[in-house]
Amino acid sequence: MNRLAPALLIALLIALLIALLIALLIALLPAAAGASQQGANATKKWKAMDRCSAEAQAAFPDFTAEANAKRDAKLKECLAGQNLPPRDPHTPPR
């Protein structure tokens, strides 16, 4: 009987360790889900910004100075209407 006691104790400790690891993983799952939710929100905003850009380009497809100004105004209006950040202005060439 004495030979079974250490083996039983080791098996019990291993089972306890596995249970603790599972509990730790379950506790950390919400943190991982929150990070992916932030990524999903950023992706949604980028897609909405791309749609605004495509709509502005479709409305004013010419590359004249007048069409460029109207396209930029439409883009700003669309972004502001959806509470999205404005696009950075292009830096002038050197």
- pTM, full prediction: 0.58
In a domain, 77, yes or no: yes
Non-local (6+) Cβ contacts of 82 within 8 A are 48, 52
In a domain, 78, yes or no: yes
In a domain, 74, yes or no: yes
Contact between 67 and 61 (Cβ < 8 Å): yes
Q: What is the mean pLDDT of residues 50-76?
A: 94
Residue 88 has a pLDDT of 80
In a domain, 31, yes or no: no
For the chain, the straight-line distance linking the first and the last C-alpha, in angstroms and rounded, comes to 87
Whether residue 29 is predicted with pLDDT greater than 80 in this model: the reply is no
> How many structural domains is the chain composed of?
1
Share of the chain above pLDDT 90, in %: 50
In a domain, 90, yes or no: no
In a domain, 51, yes or no: yes
49 phi and psi angles, rounded to 5 deg: -65, -40
Gap between the Cα atoms of 60 and 93, Å rounded = 24
In a domain, 72, yes or no: yes
In a domain, 81, yes or no: yes
Q: What is the mean pLDDT of residues 9-30?
A: 86
Residue 72: which domain range? 40-85
Alpha helices in the chain (DSSP H): 4-59, 65-81
- For all residues of the chain together, what is the average pLDDT? 86
